[in-house]
């Protein structure tokens, strides 16, 4: 996994930029390049989706679960330690307006991670989205999901604790 992390300008020197020239250019930033692998605590060496939440944690969706990175160590959430997680094969990850993490799995499950708990959020017919779906959180905070084959007319929105067609 390759991450680029921006650090606030400090007394450290990066890429040949001196502290004096950095003080003269407020746009200059120091960059640290780190690469993490399974030997550092990741469950696998590939990442399907990545985000930094409002509290600063970095979250990674992998084929072996959801991974939280606090800057020092990785915490892996998968079906071995999180019974409510229906699949380890997470392909998409979004943060909701309330700080919830929304995940989609390769099998089409929609899962919410909130307050340290996973909740599989089934549709009315109790079936997951057919195959991996598209997951979106709009500017109003609504969570939208659609099957990969039908983003132009077969969407669902999370409203009042259940999935509903738009405008329902």
pLDDT in tens, 116-126: 999 988 766 54
Residue closest to 134 by CA, chosen among 168, 88, 103:
103
At 5 the pLDDT is 37
Positive/negative CA dihedral, 96, 78, 109, 136:
positive
Q: How many domains does the chain have?
A: 2
At 147 the pLDDT is 62
Task: Identify the domain containing residue 57 by its residue range.
Answer: 36-164
CATH of the domain at 111: 2.130.10.10
C-alpha pair distances (Å), 118 with each of 66, 79, 83, 100: 11, 10, 8, 10
Residue closest to 87 by CA, chosen among 115, 62, 68, 69:
62
For range 73-92, the mean pLDDT: 94
Q: Is the pLDDT of residue 81 over 60?
A: yes
Same domain, 123 and 87: yes
Same domain, 127 and 116: yes
Q: Is the pLDDT of residue 141 over 70?
A: yes
For range 138-143, the mean pLDDT: 79
The predicted-structure confidence for 17-73, as pLDDT tens digits, reads as follows: 444 444 455 555 777 767 889 999 999 999 999 999 999 999 999 999 999 999 999
At 132 the pLDDT is 59
Same domain, 78 and 2: no
Do the beta carbons of residue 31 and residue 14 sit within 8 Å? yes
Same domain, 70 and 127: yes
| For the ranges 13-27, 91-105, 111-125, 128-142, the one whose mean pLDDT is highest | 91-105
At 124 the pLDDT is 61
At 121 the pLDDT is 82
């Amino acid at each position: 996994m390759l991450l680029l992390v921006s650090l606030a300008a400090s007394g450290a020197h990066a890429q040949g930029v001196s502290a004096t020239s950095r003080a003269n250019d407020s746009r200059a930033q120091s960059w640290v390049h780190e690469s993490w692998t399974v030997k550092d605590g990741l469950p696998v060496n590939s990442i399907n989706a990545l985000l930094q939440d409002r509290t600063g944690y970095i979250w990674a969706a992998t084929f072996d679960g959801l991974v939280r990175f606090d800057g020092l160590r990785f915490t892996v959430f998968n079906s071995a330690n999180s019974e409510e997680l229906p699949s380890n094969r997470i392909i998409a990850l979004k943060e909701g307006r309330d700080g919830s993490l929304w995940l989609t799995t390769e099998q089409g499950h929609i899962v919410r991670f909130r307050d340290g708990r996973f909740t599989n959020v089934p549709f009315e017919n109790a079936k997951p989205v057919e195959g991996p779906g598209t997951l979106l959180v709009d500017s109003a905070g609504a969570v939208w999901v659609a099957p990969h084959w039908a983003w132009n007319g077969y969407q669902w929105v999370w409203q009042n604790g259940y999935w509903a067609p738009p405008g329902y």
